[in-house]
C-alpha cells in the first residue's frame, strides 16, 4: 500500500519553477492522508502566494507525480489536491536546507 512517505518522496519531484526548489522543502505541503486502504491520497498544500503564476502547473504536476505511484500500487485510484491558504505560507515553513539554499538564516 502507498504510504505518506512515498507520497512525500514523489512530491519532491515537483519543483517551483520560479524558486527552483521542490514543494516539500519549500514547506508548501501541509498534510498528506492515505485513505480507503490506499485507494485515495488526499493532500493539503499551498503556494508561496495566491498570485503565483506557476500555481496551476505546480498543482497539476503534484497530482501527476503522486498518480505515477499507480505503476507500483495498482489500487491507487484518486489523488485529491486541496489548495489551502491557512496557514499562509512564509519562509519559516521551509526546511533548513531550503532556507540555506535561498539565503534565509
Dump pLDDT digits (tens) for 5-38. 999 999 999 999 999 999 999 999 999 999 999 9
CATH code, 62: 3.30.300.130
The residue segments making up the domain with residue 14 are 4-88
Q: In the structure, what pLDDT confidence band is assigned to residue 104 with cuts at 50, 70 and 90?
A: confident
Domain contains 35: yes
In a domain, 81, yes or no: yes
In a domain, 96, yes or no: no
Mean pLDDT computed over 69-96: 96
Residue 100 lies in a domain: no
In a domain, 63, yes or no: yes
Cα–Cα distance, 100 to 105 (Å, whole number): 7
**Number of domains the chain is built from:** 1
Coil, strand or helix at 45: strand
98 belongs to a structural domain: no
What's this model's pTM, rounded to 2 decimal places?
A: 0.94
- In a domain, residue 57? The reply is yes
Amino acid at each position: 500500500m502507498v504510504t505518506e512517505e512515498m507520497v512525500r518522496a514523489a512530491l519532491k519531484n515537483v519543483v517551483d519553477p520560479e524558486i527552483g526548489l521542490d514543494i516539500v522543502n519549500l514547506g508548501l505541503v501541509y498534510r498528506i492522508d492515505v485513505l480507503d486502504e490506499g485507494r485515495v491520497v488526499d493532500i493539503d498544500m499551498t503556494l508561496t502566494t495566491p498570485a503565483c503564476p506557476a500555481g496551476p502547473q505546480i498543482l497539476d504536476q503534484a497530482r501527476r507525480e503522486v498518480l505515477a505511484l499507480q505503476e507500483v500500487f495498482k489500487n491507487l485510484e484518486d489523488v485529491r489536491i486541496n489548495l489551502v491558504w491557512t496557514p499562509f505560507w512564509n519562509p519559516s515553513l521551509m526546511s533548513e536546507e531550503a532556507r540555506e539554499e535561498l539565503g534565509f538564516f
